[in-house]
Amino acid sequence: MRKIIIDTDTASDDAVALVCALRDPQLQVVAITTVAGNVPLELASYNARMSVEYAGTYAPPIYAGCAGPLFCPLETADQVHGKDGMGDLDQTPGCTPLRASTIPLTPGHAVDALIAHIEAEKEPIDLITLGPLTNVATAMRKAPEVMKKLRHITIMGGAHHYHNPHTVCAEFNIMVDPEAADIVCTFGVPITMVTLEACAGRARLGPDMIEKLRACGEIGDFFVDCNRTMIENARAAEGVPSFDLPDPVTVAVFSHPEMATTRFESHLRVETKGDYTRGMTLFIKPDDFYSLTLPEPLPLTAEIVTEVDPQQFWQYLLACARK
């Protein structure tokens, strides 16, 4: 059993990831921290509480954190996740609204909770991040010695070749708060970055997987329903329903690292200045001659995941929905 903290801007794919983590017998979620990203902080926290309830296993403390990026205004992703982050089911004729959450938030700020939980653990624990890195960077600036106790950080973020609809070169979680992402990438705790291309493309779920998930019952229905906006966007554009699950892929890769079929080691930096390239993730290979010309030393190398085995991921998802 591996102990983890999950930091999340909970909207549809984060919600699925939380349910998977809470139903994965290999993992023990000791705390959930929420951050603004896909949706404003209040909605992210509400959606996290609802997800814990749908998981139907145990209820770790849930702490609300930063309401916006370190130095820039918040950009949300309503067009991907709906205004409420969960497919706006209650506004959509013919859809059954999701169950309301009765689980309360735990008092205290997520940044202080991150620090307190990491400090309280006897053994170093892992952190999985599924949203912008504002909470984590703030905790690193506030209590660097405590945050150095983390064993490892697994980040859903970054893009090697792909990008989100918002810009031509950046992935959403990194783009929303590039300064925070660069603080985390250069901090010195080992990182695995699960990039957008690992989660899209071949790992995308089509009609067949939608049907298999629905056949699992209430949790499978939840996985599909809270992704309604993305599924309907695909149906409108391509005539066929489909969706990506970047955050669940990240939890699955953490739980079953063998699922990652393509990975490489790289120094990692985030562009914080460009007019067009802000939020771009820069992968600088250790043997790249460019690294020899830099004025400052490069951070630790990170493990970059760019491909997963779709079959293994889908089996993991179905197992989490079924059990």
Q: Which residues bind ligand BDR (CB under 6 A)?
A: 11, 13-14, 38, 77, 80, 130-131, 156, 164, 171-173, 196, 246-247
131 binds Ca ion (CB under 5 A): yes
The continuous run of DSSP H or E covering 62 comes out as strand 62-64
Using Cβ positions, the residue closest to ligand BDR within the complex turns out to be: 172
Phi-psi region of 158 (alpha: psi -120 to 50; beta: other; left: phi over 0): left
Q: How far is the CB of 166 from ligand BDR (least distance, A)?
A: 9
14 binds Ca ion (CB under 5 A): yes
DSSP line for 253-316: HHH-GGGEEEEEEEEEEE--S-TTTTT-EEEE-TT-GGGGG-SSPPP--EEEEEEE-HHHHHHH
User: How many residues lie near Ca ion (CB under 5 A)?
Assistant: 5
Degrees, nearest 5: CA angle 44-6-157:
80
- Alpha-carbon distance 74 to 43, whole Å? 14
158 binds Ca ion (CB under 5 A): no
Secondary structure of residue 283 in the 3-state scheme: strand
- The residue within the footprint of Ca ion, chosen from 27, 105, 130, 183 (CB under 5 A), is 130
Options 1-9, 189-197, 224-232, 289-297: segment touching Ca ion (CB under 5 A):
1-9
135 binds, among ligand BDR, Ca ion, none (CB under 5 to 8 A by kind): none
Q: How far is the CB of 87 from ligand BDR (least distance, A)?
A: 13
Residues 6+ apart with CB under 8 A from 23: 55, 56, 57, 219, 320, 323
Residues 6+ apart with CB under 8 A from 287: none
248 binds Ca ion (CB under 5 A): no
Our CB check for ligand BDR shows the closer of 172 and 187 to be 172
24 binds, among ligand BDR, Ca ion, none (CB under 5 to 8 A by kind): none
Our CB check for Ca ion shows the closer of 143 and 203 to be 203
84 binds, among Ca ion, ligand BDR, none (CB under 5 to 8 A by kind): none
